[in-house]
């Protein structure tokens, strides 16, 4: 038996409704707010992620699906969407167009992580990127968009955590203060964090190991170490969230796993779906576009994990399963009836009715059983006599009442409603 690769998922027709609901909700909210869809390649040159996402991140160091192309170059399946979107903005000259540039995407991403509930090696993201606006209003707009998507889906028990991790002006001093603090505990930190002390000390703040997190609890906090500009920016964001009535908590342990962030970072965390509870994460990345060879262009964005949104919908949501059962099934006996069914099906489908007929060659009895199984609302029963006379019985499957109808799509449509 050939099985799907570890950490991947088949999304079956029985489950697809929730996915389509999320995607439609996200698209509707984006359209209302002037965001347009972009599609980017599934793979990019590896150095885009090395430079964009950052060489010291777990994603780049341990999780990328990187392979040598047949012509020798190194390609990587996208582990996220921001770097690819930023590359597309630069490459297509979108940075010169009217600003702000407001984009969204629905993509699959690939990370070689240890699979568990809510964590996969191929997963789906709905992401939003806003370029060319560096004000706190832009941050608030983005967070409000995420909040609206989650509320429209009806995700229960979700909390917004916000933080500011400063900018290239204030972060070096803060990093030094952190390193000083954690050096006092070097022996107690986990091996990964010992390494992070050299490479990426901020990441120690969100280490999940109980010892590291208890040490981190008393570490100097980012928000107490911001320069005036970053502090004003963060205050401006909070004032807008308050104004919008969006509840949040300032969480100095939100630092995010990717290198490109500066100032605002945030996560929406849903309880009741297990350890992988961050359904949406993002932040400001004012240096990213320049970092990968583009102009100076501020940006902010987020991505929501669609797999995790689907999981959290199990605790309640606004999703209502659409009724996709056929309005009409045409049961046939014989070649002439089958031809007539093809004609009627086509006319009724053009009118918008979900209509099916036999294409397997089943007996009448088996066709009736099948019509029941697919929950057809009406069944039209056609044989040679009916085709000859132009009249047939239309059965209402809910009460078995039969009406004689002429073989006219208009008349059938009038009855099935
Ligand atoms: P991220 O936090 O790495 O950020 O991923 C965003 C979301 O994708 C997570 O909150 C989670 O819901 C989902 N996700 C991540 N990894 C997995 C996985 N292995 N299995 C299932 N779901 C997962 C980014 O990717 C940034 N590009 C977000 C962003 C956009 N920042 C600015 N703009």
Residues 16, 21: Cα–Cα separation, whole Å: 9
Q: What distance in angstroms lies between residue 400's CA and the mean position of ligand 1's atoms?
A: 52
CB contact at 8 A, 280 and 306: no
Q: What distance in angstroms lies between residue 78's CA and the mean position of ligand 1's atoms?
A: 12
Q: Is 327 in the pocket of ligand 1 (CB under 6 A)?
A: no
The residues pairing with 103 across neighbouring beta strands, listed in sequence order, are 36, 129
Q: Is 286 in the pocket of ligand 1 (CB under 6 A)?
A: no
Q: What distance in angstroms lies between residue 267's CA and the mean position of ligand 1's atoms?
A: 10
Q: How many CB atoms lie within 10 A of CB 199?
A: 12
Q: Is 281 in the pocket of ligand 1 (CB under 6 A)?
A: yes
Q: In the chain, which residues fall in CATH 3.40.50.800?
A: 328-416
Query: Would you tell me the crossing angle of helices 136-153 and 16-32 to the nearest 10 degrees?
Result: 150
Residues 294, 95: Cα–Cα separation, whole Å: 9
* Assigned CATH topology for domain 328-416: Rossmann fold (3.40.50)
Q: Is 57 in the pocket of ligand 1 (CB under 6 A)?
A: no
For the CA of 119, the nearest atom of ligand 1: 20
Nearest-CA residue for atom 25 of ligand 1: 80
Q: What distance in angstroms lies between residue 240's CA and the mean position of ligand 1's atoms?
A: 25
Nearest-CA residue for atom 11 of ligand 1: 305
Contacts of 412 (CB under 8 A, 6+ apart): 328, 344, 348, 380, 394, 405
Name the phi and psi angles at 353, rounded to 5: -85, 135
Q: What distance in angstroms lies between residue 280's CA and the mean position of ligand 1's atoms?
A: 7
Q: What distance in angstroms lies between residue 102's CA and the mean position of ligand 1's atoms?
A: 19
3-state secondary structure (DSSP) of residue 122: strand
pTM of the complete model: 0.94
For the CA of 279, the nearest atom of ligand 1: 12
Q: Is 119 in the pocket of ligand 1 (CB under 6 A)?
A: yes
pLDDT tens for each residue of 240-267? 999 999 999 999 999 888 889 999 999 9
For the CA of 301, the nearest atom of ligand 1: 33
Contacts of 46 (CB under 8 A, 6+ apart): 64, 66, 74, 75, 76
For the CA of 127, the nearest atom of ligand 1: 30
CATH architecture of 16-170+226-315: 2-Layer Sandwich (3.30)
pLDDT tens for each residue of 221-236? 999 999 999 999 999 9
Q: Is 52 in the pocket of ligand 1 (CB under 6 A)?
A: no
For the CA of 258, the nearest atom of ligand 1: 3
Q: What distance in angstroms lies between residue 73's CA and the mean position of ligand 1's atoms?
A: 26
What is the pLDDT tens value at each position of the chain, 417 positions in all?
999 999 999 999 999 999 999 999 999 999 999 999 999 999 999 999 999 999 888 999 999 999 999 999 999 999 999 999 999 999 999 988 789 999 999 999 999 999 999 999 999 999 999 999 999 999 999 999 999 999 999 999 999 999 999 999 999 999 999 999 999 999 999 999 999 998 889 989 988 899 999 999 999 999 999 999 999 999 999 999 999 999 999 999 998 888 899 999 999 999 888 889 999 999 999 999 999 999 999 999 999 999 999 999 999 999 999 999 999 999 999 999 999 999 999 999 999 999 999 999 999 999 999 999 999 999 999 999 999 999 999 999 999 999 999 999 999 999 999
Q: What distance in angstroms lies between residue 279's CA and the mean position of ligand 1's atoms?
A: 8
Q: Is 301 in the pocket of ligand 1 (CB under 6 A)?
A: yes
Planar angle of CA 74, 113, 309, nearest 5 degrees: 110
Q: In the chain, which residues fall in CATH 3.30.930.10?
A: 16-170+226-315
Planar angle of CA 388, 389, 395, nearest 5 degrees: 110
Residues 219, 177: Cα–Cα separation, whole Å: 9
pLDDT tens for each residue of 347-370? 999 999 999 999 999 999 999 999
């Amino acid at each position: 038996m050939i099985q799907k690769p570890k950490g991947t998922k088949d999304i079956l027709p029985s489950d697809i409704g929730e996915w389509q609901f999320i995607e439609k909700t996200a698209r509707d909210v984006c359209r209302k707010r002037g965001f347009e869809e972009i599609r980017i390649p599934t793979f990019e040159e590896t150095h885009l992620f090395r430079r964009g996402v950052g060489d010291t991140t777990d994603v780049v160091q341990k999780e990328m699906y990187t392979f040598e192309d047949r012509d020798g170059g190194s390609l990587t399946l996208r582990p996220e969407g921001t770097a690819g979107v930023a590359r597309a903005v630069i490459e297509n000259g979108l940075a010169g167009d009217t600003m702000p540039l407001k984009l969204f995407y629905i993509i699959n991403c690939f990370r070689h992580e240890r699979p568990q509930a809510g964590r996969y090696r191929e997963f789906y993201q709905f992401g939003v990127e806003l370029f060319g606006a560096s004000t706190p209003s832009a941050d608030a707009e983005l967070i409000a968009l995420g909040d609206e998507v989650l509320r429209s889906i009806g995700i229960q028990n979700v909390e917004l955590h916000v933080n500011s991790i400063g900018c290239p002006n204030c972060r070096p001093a803060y990093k030094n203060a952190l390193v000083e603090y954690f050096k006092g505990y070097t022996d107690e930190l986990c091996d990964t964090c010992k390494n992070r002390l050299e490479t990426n000390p901020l990441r120690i703040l969100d280490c999940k190991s109980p010892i590291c997190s208890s040490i981190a609890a008393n570490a100097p906090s980012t928000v107490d170490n911001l320069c005036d500009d970053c502090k004003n920016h963060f205050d401006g964001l909070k004032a807008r969230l308050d104004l919008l009535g969006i509840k949040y908590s300032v969480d100095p342990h939100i630092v995010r796993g990717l290198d490109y962030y500066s100032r605002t970072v945030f996560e929406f965390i849903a309880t009741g779906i297990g350890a992988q509870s961050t359904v949406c994460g993002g932040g400001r990345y004012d240096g990213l576009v320049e970092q990968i060879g583009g102009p100076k262009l501020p940006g902010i964005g987020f991505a929501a994990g669609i797999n995790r949104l689907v999981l959290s919908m199990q605790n309640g949501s606004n999703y209502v399963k659409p009724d996709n059962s056929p309005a009409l099934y045409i049961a046939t006996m014989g070649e002439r009836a089958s031809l007539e069914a093809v004609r009627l099906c086509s006319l009724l489908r053009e009118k918008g009715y979900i209509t099916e007929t036999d294409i397997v060659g089943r007996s009448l009895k088996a066709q009736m059983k099948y019509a029941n199984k697919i929950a057809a609302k009406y069944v039209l029963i056609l044989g040679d006599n009916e085709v000859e006379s132009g009249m047939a019985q239309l059965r209402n499957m809910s009460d078995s009442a039969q009406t004689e109808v002429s073989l006219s799509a208009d008349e059938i449509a009038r009855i099935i409603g």
